[in-house]
Amino acid sequence: MPRKTAITLNITLDDNHTPEKMHWSAPDGGVKQQPMEAFFLSTWDKETQESARIDLWSKEMPVDQMQVFVHQTLLGLRESYLRATEDVKMAEAMQQFCDFFASERNLKQVKKNT
């Protein structure tokens, strides 16, 4: 029997419709109102053969952290692409771009907040 689950995104906007606070929940994964500063969501429409995206980040998201977030997202897309297609050649090209991106933005030196 099919089972449904939910992932919930809650966004608090300021008067200019800019995200101030964002949280996500995934009860089946044990996540409840986890704060986040940014998210990228992509969906695929089989009928129209088009993707749709929602990209949001809070006004408190620093540029250096956005660069790390984008880099990690690119690495994740590369990994997803490789798993889905087994196209090693393209995955290697994507990895080269990710390495270039990290080098150009000096991401090896970004330190985590503790």
Residues 44, 81, single domain; the answer is no
- Cα gap 40→94, rounded to integer Å: 19
Based on the fold, state whether residues 92 and 46 are members of the same structural domain.
no
Convert the pLDDT of each residue in 77-104 to its tens digit. Answer: 999 999 999 999 999 999 999 999 999 9
pLDDT at 113: 61
| Residue (of 36, 13, 108) closest to 67 by Cα position | 108
Q: How many domains does the chain have?
A: 2
> In which band, very low, low, confident or very high, does the pLDDT at 108 lie, cut at 50, 70 and 90?
confident
In a domain, 31, yes or no: yes
For the whole model, what pTM was predicted? 0.87
For the chain, what is the mean pLDDT? 94
Domain check: are 33 and 3 in the same one? Answer: yes
Q: Are 41 and 85 within one domain?
A: no
pLDDT band at residue 53 using 50, 70 and 90 as cut-offs: very high
